[in-house]
């Protein structure tokens, strides 16, 4: 078993990516400590600016972005694309990789002690083509993963050969391999969606959710539970752990026609992980992994989780309009 003082078992990490993973792990354990100290380290949730996507930047967003960019400079990452940077940044001109990152995901939870995270995606760089290194099919990713800063702190990652997870051990200050082939449970009774947007959804999404809310009185003939943490990494970790489905569809709000989540540094890496764990990830109908972003901060509707549930959402989208009506409860196609 190969090991370093940062990651205790590196046998599942491709050798050429090990320095990059160690850099992410170093910053991850430092961010873990900063987040656990909360206000003792200053106001992590204070507004400090606005990013290209129009989201308010919090102090921890910028702190995390700076820390990852600085640490990755000494690795083979040539191009760095971040939620917090308007354009691609060249870190190491001699590098061979392109890394996309959401340095701090779930920013609305920074000040309320709810799990937050980091999401990362790694491609082979296209020399002299910074944007083209990221605007390409998601299935060209070499790695996709997240760090979740919660009651436990984990790195969950795939290199295309199943999903591994490492837990941060504060006693040894190292990351310990705890899972080598994680699978998303195929059955589940939880769905995650921001229900406050109900009136803005398409008829198909409303019908799908109405049928879930109808529970045992509707076509599924059983009850479901709902979750919404407003932290994509926390929702992903729950679904990776016990199954379920997550939906952030496009809606009628201005700027939300393609939903809220970004393809390059949120949806593509999560989709890679979920598919490697036996789940599905789509834009509500088509696989994320065969799609590519047209610009760095492009959004996409995003549905992922237990395979059978994700497939069912696509079936609602295929129904003729006059049938997409939750009162039309005898749709045999959707009986549980």
Ligand X SMILES: O=P(O)(O)OC[C@H]1O[C@](O)(COP(=O)(O)O)[C@@H](O)[C@@H]1O
Distance CA 125, CA 312 (A): 36
The values of phi and psi at residue 12, to 5°, are: -95, 0
**Segments in the chain forming alpha helices (H):** 18-37, 59-72, 203-214, 232-242, 268-276, 307-318
The values of phi and psi at residue 311, to 5°, are: -65, -35
Between 57 and 96, how does the x/- string for binding to ligand X read (CB under 6 A)? --------------------------x-------------
Contact residues for 327 (Cβ-Cβ < 8 A; gap 6+): none
- Closest approach, Cβ 266 to ligand X, in A, equals 7
User: Is 121 labelled as part of a ligand binding site?
Assistant: no
Compute how many residues bind Mg ion; rule: CB under 5 A.
Answer: 4
User: Is 107 labelled as part of a ligand binding site?
Assistant: yes
Q: Determine the residue with CB nearest ligand X.
A: 232
- Closest approach, Cβ 21 to Mg ion, in A, equals 20
Question: Is the distance from CB of 80 to CB of 66 less than 8 angstroms?
Answer: no
Site for ligand X in 204-233 (CB under 6 A): 230-232
- Closest approach, Cβ 40 to ligand X, in A, equals 23
Distance CA 69, CA 262 (A): 19
Which of Mg ion, ligand X, none does residue 129 bind to, with CB < 5 to 8 Å depending on kind? Answer: none
Residue 221 backbone class (left: φ over 0; alpha: ψ -120 to 50; beta: rest): left
Between 50 and 89, how does the x/- string for binding to Mg ion read (CB under 5 A)? ---------------------------------x------
- Is 260 a binder of ligand X (CB under 6 A)? yes
The residue (of 43 and 108) whose beta carbon lies closer to ligand X is 108
| DSSP H or E run through 227 | strand 225-227
- Is 210 a binder of Mg ion (CB under 5 A)? no
User: Is 71 labelled as part of a ligand binding site?
Assistant: no
Site residues (vs Mg ion, CB under 5 A) = 83, 102, 104-105
């Amino acid at each position: 078993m190969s090991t370093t003082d940062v990651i205790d078992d590196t046998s599942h990490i491709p050798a050429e990516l090990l320095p990059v993973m160690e850099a992410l792990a170093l910053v991850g354990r430092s961010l873990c400590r900063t987040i656990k100290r909360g206000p003792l380290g200053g106001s992590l949730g204070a507004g400090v600016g606005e990013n290209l996507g129009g989201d308010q930047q919090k102090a921890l967003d910028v702190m995390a972005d700076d820390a990852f960019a600085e640490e990755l400079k000494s690795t083979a990452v040539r191009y760095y694309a971040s939620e917090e940077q308007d354009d691609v940044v060249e870190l190491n001109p001699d590098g061979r990789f392109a890394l996309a990152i959401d340095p701090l995901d779930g920013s609305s939870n920074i000040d309320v002690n709810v799990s937050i995270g980091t999401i990362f995606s790694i491609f082979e760089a296209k020399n002299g083509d910074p944007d083209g290194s990221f605007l390409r099919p998601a299935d060209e990713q070499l790695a996709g993963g997240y760090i979740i800063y919660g009651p436990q702190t984990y790195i969950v990652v795939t290199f295309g050969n199943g999903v591994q997870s490492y837990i941060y051990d504060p006693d040894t200050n190292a990351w310990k391999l705890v899972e080598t082939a994680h699978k998303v449970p195929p059955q589940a009774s939880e769905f995650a969606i921001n229900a406050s947007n109900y009136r803005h959804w398409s008829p198909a999404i409303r019908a799908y959710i109405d049928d879930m809310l109808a529970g045992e009185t509707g076509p599924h003939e059983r009850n479901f539970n709902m979750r919404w943490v407003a932290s994509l990494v926390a929702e992903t970790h729950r679904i990776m752990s016990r199954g379920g489905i997550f939906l952030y569809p496009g809606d009628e709000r201005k700027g939300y026609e393609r939903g809220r989540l970004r393809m390059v540094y949120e949806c593509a890496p999560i989709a890679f992980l979920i598919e490697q764990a036996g789940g599905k990830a789509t834009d509500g109908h088509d696989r994320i992994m065969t799609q590519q972003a047209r610009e760095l901060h492009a959004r996409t509707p995003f549905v992922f989780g237990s395979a059978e549930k994700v497939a069912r959402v696509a079936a609602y989208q295929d129904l003729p309009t006059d049938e997409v009506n939750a009162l039309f409860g005898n749709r045999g196609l959707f009986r549980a």
